[in-house]
Amino acid sequence: MNYDFFHYVDLIGTLAFAISGALAAINRNLDIFGVFVISFITACGGGVIRDICIGSFPPAGLINLEYLIIVILSVFLCGFFQKLLLRLNHPTLFFDAIGLGFFASFGAHKTYFFTGNSELAILLGIVTAVGGGILRDTLTTTIPSVLTKEIYASAAIVGAVIQLLGENNIINPALAPWLAILICSSIRLLSLKFKWNLPSIKQVQ
Amino acid sequence: MNYDFFHYVDLIGTLAFAISGALAAINRNLDIFGVFVISFITACGGGVIRDICIGSFPPAGLINLEYLIIVILSVFLCGFFQKLLLRLNHPTLFFDAIGLGFFASFGAHKTYFFTGNSELAILLGIVTAVGGGILRDTLTTTIPSVLTKEIYASAAIVGAVIQLLGENNIINPALAPWLAILICSSIRLLSLKFKWNLPSIKQVQ
Amino acid sequence: MNYDFFHYVDLIGTLAFAISGALAAINRNLDIFGVFVISFITACGGGVIRDICIGSFPPAGLINLEYLIIVILSVFLCGFFQKLLLRLNHPTLFFDAIGLGFFASFGAHKTYFFTGNSELAILLGIVTAVGGGILRDTLTTTIPSVLTKEIYASAAIVGAVIQLLGENNIINPALAPWLAILICSSIRLLSLKFKWNLPSIKQVQ
């Protein structure tokens, strides 16, 4: 449960979201700085909102050079290995799903560590996980993923809750982040693959 | 003018916006967690922005269990009594109008109480009132209500100003919130019903 | 490098963005309060996000009466001199370009002054410059300027970097803001006029 471990969880989530943002921006034919801006906002947006809400100023995403380097790296990766990445079905959504698990875990952990408030930890775990993707989709004028019928917010909630159970020693705290990441990202990926849907509240005609 | 009274004003506004958010999300066929997320953002979004701007961390909307319970309740209400709610014309806009009055009053009150700054109180009264609805409409890819020609921002400004007159004892402080809520919500509802419009600045052809 | 000079830089940027916001809102046929709200958000939105990120509460844009007066003035100007303003090609984008330069310089300066962090100064210089325009375009359901292929984010980055070179005495600090404003706004205006584009990363078909 040391700082270093969660720092890597954060960086991997950042990388996954940076790639998903860069791919979405390339898909919209933006110039290279536009791709960089969308990639950065996707990668750091959810975390910045979380840090603002827990009163941690300035938000880590804006002062840590590592994030910036990861985003620049992602833009280059997407430029050079685009053909490879596009072999995946829905590559933007694939990397988004990976980031979802890592950020749900890290967001819940950091918030609980700072505030000790369980409700806030779950809510800001969700915000960290879905915030960047919502910003990416809104800025590239796509309908936000959270709005498609596919399981999305639900996966983030599950990830944040598992992490929180670990913070409270209800499940093994060394295992909790791995479980949270594995289950959250898997639920999202499987729901994409098999087009799982939660029941929606039937709208009266 | 005790804390308790305004606390109820806040909770009723939250309930009204939570219902309007849940109805809008059901209308988009989201899964039940998606409905919960949109309902929560609509109900708490404006207040969270207000609390961030006055430097009150963490924002009340994210740590108070009451809001969470109200949102869950609203989602169930909307699921079970949908037929009843949909008998109203534009049910989303009806509950939005009720929330508008309560939040304009509460937002102006809380900001003035925290900062003693009149301009900030009016601006953040408006933000509290219209913020959640703008987020709801942006996330469900509807054109924000504030953009329709119908009177919307104007009603929120009137509500916030009346509340502020009460805070400064220019009108009876015990009466001010009632007046603010009644006038703001009525202006909005009547403008919906009778399609009132303020003059727009004629665009040169 | 006194406070007063940068204060004027900020006010001119605010005026330019307020006009661009008012023109965009008039173009959408909003009522006069709607025009005021969009104008205010365009003028103060970027700065409010910047102030929140550097932990300066309440954000200057919400408590300084000067901004409010500038916005009200802009709405009147746009109402009365619309014919004159519309003689310009893309008047919204013209005033947006002017504001871009002033805000890139001021945003980088204020952030560096508050935090002494170079990365943050550049990032929040960009945020100050492009934030208001993104909010204006999102709220008026236009595709954000930052997303068009034309050089936009790139101009803001150049402006923020030049200002930062001045803050660190690498170039003459009295000259830096003038250079930043001139170069940033000129790049943007020339790219509009001559339809300059940066290379985009070719999308694999």
pLDDT tens per residue across span C107-122: 999 999 988 888 899 9
Domain ranges in chain B?
3-194
For B7-20, what is each residue's pLDDT tens digit?
888 889 999 999 99
Average pLDDT over residues A6-17: 89
Asked whether the beta carbons of residue C37 and residue B126 sit closer than 8 angstroms, the reply is yes
pLDDT surpasses 60 at C32? yes
pLDDT at A3: 56
Count the neighbouring beta carbons within 10 Å of the beta carbon of residue A197.
13
Residue A108: exposure state from Cβ atoms within 10 A (0-12, 13-18, ≥19): buried
pLDDT at A43: 93
Subunits with 3+ C-beta pairs closer than 8 A to C: A, B
> How would residue A143 be classed by pLDDT, with cut points 50, 70 and 90?
confident
Which of A55, A117, A151 lies closest to B31 in CB terms?
A: A151
In single-letter form, the type of residue at position C198 comes to: L
Is A139 touching C (CB cutoff 8 A)? yes
Candidates A98, A111, A94; CA nearest to A161 is A111
Token pair 């996330």 in the structure block, residue: B139
Chain A's closest residue to C205, CA to CA, is A83
pLDDT surpasses 70 at A198? no
Lowest mean pLDDT among A63-77, A120-134, B164-178, C137-151: C137-151
Token pair 């005495």 in the structure block, residue: C169
For B166-201, what is each residue's pLDDT tens digit?
988 888 888 889 999 999 999 988 888 877 766 666
Q: How many whole angstroms separate alpha carbon A192 and alpha carbon A196?
A: 7
Residue C83: exposure state from Cβ atoms within 10 A (0-12, 13-18, ≥19): exposed
Residue A84: exposure state from Cβ atoms within 10 A (0-12, 13-18, ≥19): exposed
**C41-59 core/surface letters (b: 16 or more CB in 10 A; e: else):** bbbbbbbbbbbbbbbbbbb
| Alpha-carbon distance C18 to nearest alpha carbon in chain A (angstroms) | 21
Please tell me whether the peptide bond between C58 and the residue prior to it is cis, using omega within 30 degrees of 0: yes
Candidates A108, A102, A100, A104; CA nearest to A167 is A108
Which of A52, A119, A198 lies closest to B68 in CB terms?
A: A119
Q: Considering only residues 97 to 136 of chain B, which have any Cβ-Cβ distance to chain A shorter than 8 Å?
A: none
**B185-197 core/surface letters (b: 16 or more CB in 10 A; e: else):** bebbbebbeeeee
Asked whether the beta carbons of residue B52 and residue A53 sit closer than 8 angstroms, the reply is yes
Asked whether the beta carbons of residue B31 and residue A197 sit closer than 8 angstroms, the reply is yes
pLDDT at C1: 45
Q: How many CB pairs under 8 A join B and C?
A: 83
Candidates C23, C41, C31; CA nearest to C136 is C41
Which of B115, B157, B203 lies closest to C27 in CB terms?
A: B203
pLDDT at B185: 92
Average pLDDT over residues A66-71: 92
> How would residue A70 be classed by pLDDT, with cut points 50, 70 and 90?
very high
Asked whether the beta carbons of residue C37 and residue B123 sit closer than 8 angstroms, the reply is no
> How would residue B82 be classed by pLDDT, with cut points 50, 70 and 90?
confident
pLDDT surpasses 60 at B204? no
Mean pLDDT, chain C, as a whole number? 85
Asked whether the beta carbons of residue C82 and residue B203 sit closer than 8 angstroms, the reply is yes
pLDDT at B137: 85
**A-chain residues near B62 (CB < 8 A):** 53, 119-120, 123-124
pLDDT at B200: 65
> How would residue C162 be classed by pLDDT, with cut points 50, 70 and 90?
very high
Is B200 touching C (CB cutoff 8 A)? yes
B191-195, long-range: CB < 8 A, 24+ apart:
B191/B150, B191/B151, B191/B152, B191/B155, B192/B90, B192/B93, B192/B94, B192/B97, B192/B150, B195/B150
Instruction: Tokens for B174, please give them.
Output: 């015990």
Is B82 touching A (CB cutoff 8 A)? yes
Mean pLDDT, chain B, as a whole number? 85
pLDDT at C81: 81
| Alpha-carbon distance A132 to nearest alpha carbon in chain C (angstroms) | 16
Greater model confidence, A135 or C199:
A135
Which of B29, B32, B63 lies closest to A203 in CB terms?
A: B29
> How would residue A1 be classed by pLDDT, with cut points 50, 70 and 90?
very low
Asked whether the beta carbons of residue C53 and residue A62 sit closer than 8 angstroms, the reply is yes
Give alpha helix (H) positions in B54-152.
60-63, 65-80, 82-85, 91-115, 118-139
| Alpha-carbon distance A184 to nearest alpha carbon in chain C (angstroms) | 30
Asked whether the beta carbons of residue B79 and residue A201 sit closer than 8 angstroms, the reply is yes
The Cα-based distances of B132 to A157, B43, B126 in angstroms read 21, 6, 11
Instruction: Tokens for B109, please give them.
Output: 């009150």
Which of B146, B150, B200 lies closest to C37 in CB terms?
A: B146
Give alpha helix (H) positions in chain C.
3-27, 32-53, 60-63, 65-80, 82-86, 91-115, 118-139, 153-167, 176-194
Secondary structure class of A58 (helix, strand, coil): coil
Q: Which of A114, A118, A147, A192 to mutate to test the interface with B (most CBs of B within 10 A)?
A: A147
Asked whether the beta carbons of residue A29 and residue C149 sit closer than 8 angstroms, the reply is yes
Asked whether the beta carbons of residue C34 and residue B152 sit closer than 8 angstroms, the reply is yes
Phi, psi (rounded to 5 degrees) for C56? -100, 100
**A-chain residues near B31 (CB < 8 A):** 149-151, 154, 197-200
Average pLDDT over residues A81-98: 78
Average pLDDT over residues A161-175: 89
pLDDT at B89: 67
**A10-33 core/surface letters (b: 16 or more CB in 10 A; e: else):** bbbbbbbbbbbbbbbbbebbbbbb
Is C140 touching A (CB cutoff 8 A)? no
> How would residue A16 be classed by pLDDT, with cut points 50, 70 and 90?
very high
In percent, the amount of chain B with pLDDT more than 70 equals: 91
Q: How many whole angstroms separate alpha carbon B40 and alpha carbon B62?
A: 10
- CA-derived radius of gyration, chain A: 16
Candidates B173, B114, B125; CA nearest to B153 is B125
**C-chain residues near A83 (CB < 8 A):** 204
Q: How many whole angstroms separate alpha carbon A144 and alpha carbon A136?
A: 8
**B-chain residues near A130 (CB < 8 A):** 37
Lowest mean pLDDT among A52-66, B44-58, B147-161: B147-161
pLDDT at A107: 92
**C-chain residues near A78 (CB < 8 A):** 201
Q: What angle do CA A22, A25, A31 make, to 5 degrees?
A: 105
pLDDT at C159: 92
Give the list of residues 6+ apart from residue C61 with CB closer than 8 angstroms, or none. C43, C44, C45, C47, C48, C51, C67
Is B205 touching C (CB cutoff 8 A)? no
Q: What angle do CA C50, C52, C55 make, to 5 degrees?
A: 110
Identify whether the C-beta of residue A80 lies closer than 8 Å to the C-beta of residue A141.
Answer: no
Is C28 touching A (CB cutoff 8 A)? no
Token pair 């749900």 in the structure block, residue: A104
Average pLDDT over residues A98-123: 90
Q: Which of C33, C42, C88 to mutate to test the interface with B (most CBs of B within 10 A)?
A: C33
| Alpha-carbon distance A200 to nearest alpha carbon in chain B (angstroms) | 4
Q: How many whole angstroms separate alpha carbon A55 and alpha carbon A108?
A: 15
pLDDT at A193: 80
